[in-house]
Structures are given as structure tokens and as C-alpha cells.
Amino acid sequence: MKSITVDGIMSLGPCDDYTREILEDLRKSQCGRRKKITMKDILTSAVPPEDRLWLVLRNEFLTDKELHEIAIWCWEKIARPIWEKHYPDDKRPHEAVKVKKLWLKGKATDEELDLARDAAWIAARASAWIAARDAARIAVGDAARAAARAAERDAARDKICKHILKKNS
């Protein structure tokens, strides 16, 4: 089984939450005196799931083919339903995954894979811009409504105050 040392993990550039000392403590609690940390050690540790995946989803533990297969699985089970809900007519990511599957079987070239991947990234970036624009538009609308309500309240308060002052003078 493939394994990694604390030095190996440090060379990957973990986030600031994982200092050498913290990683050594984790290693000792999970592995005892053993210096090498296995994928099983990592996956059964008390480390948050996203940090465990950050470490094991790389060539130190999995082959390129396995990593590509995991990416395809993530697309099919997680991202595809979301994409299809919001962009039902945009098939560029579908095409990229289709080409990747062919590439894994040796039936597509690196160039074909690169072109399909580039098209999928363009689609993803475009959808991100659309989402950001829509979020900004909503935020601006919310801010404008809040400002209008505040101005309306201030005007009503001023009117009431003037009426009270006029009545008491």
C-alpha cells in the first residue's frame, strides 16, 4: 500500500492549520511509532473529510487513471445534475467527459482531450460570470430597496416630528 511521511505531506503545502507539529501529533495518534502514513490511516483519521480528500486525491496515493475516473464519477453523480438544471442546453461539459472516457481507453488524443477540457472550462467560467452578475444584480436591488425604505421612514419621521412641533408651538 502506498504511504507518505510527514515531510512528504509538508512538501505538498498543506494549509496553515497543519503545521509540522500538528501533523506529527496526528501521525502518532493514528500510526503509533510507524513513520509512514497510509491511505487507510488518513481516511480513518479525525481530520475533516475535505482535508483527507485533499491529501489522498493525488498521485502519491492514486494513479492518473484512478484520479481521472474519480473526476468522471464526481461529474456524473454531483456536478452534472446541477449543471443540467441551470444550463440544460450547454453540452460542453458533457462532451469533455465523453472525450475523457475515450481518452482513458486510448481512443482520443491528448489534443482532443485538451480541446474538450478548454471548452468545458470556458462554459464553467461563463456560468460563473452569469451567477456573479445575477448575485450582484440581486444585491444592488436589495440595497436600493433598503435605501428607499430607509428614506421613506426618515421622511415619515420628519413629517411626524414637524407635525408634533407645529402642534406644540
Query: How many domains, in total, are found in the chain?
Result: 2
pLDDT of residue 166: 72
| Domain final residue pick, 38, 56, 74 | 56
pTM over cut 0.75: no
pLDDT of residue 161: 67
pLDDT of residue 131: 66
Write out the residue range of the structural domain in which residue 42 sits. Answer: 3-56
pLDDT tens, position by position, 108-145: 999 998 998 898 888 878 777 776 776 677 777 667 67
141 and 156 part of one domain: yes
pLDDT of residue 134: 66
Residue type, 91: K
161 and 95 part of one domain: yes
- Using the CB atoms, write b or e for 125-136: b if 16+ within 10 Å: eeeeeeeeeeee
| Domain final residue pick, 56, 81, 97 | 56
| Domain final residue pick, 14, 30, 56 | 56
pLDDT of residue 48: 93
Which H helix or E strand runs over 116?
helix 110-168
Q: What is the mean pLDDT of residues 54-81?
A: 91
74 and 156 part of one domain: yes
- Grade residue 23 by pLDDT with cuts at 50, 70 and 90: very high
Q: What is the mean pLDDT of residues 53-64?
A: 92
127 and 89 part of one domain: yes
Q: What is the mean pLDDT of residues 21-48?
A: 94
What are the DSSP E strand ranges found in the chain? 3-4, 37-38
73 and 35 part of one domain: no
27 and 78 part of one domain: no
Give 54-85 as a 3 state SS string. Answer: HHHCCCCCCCHHHHHHHHHHHHHHHHHHHHHH
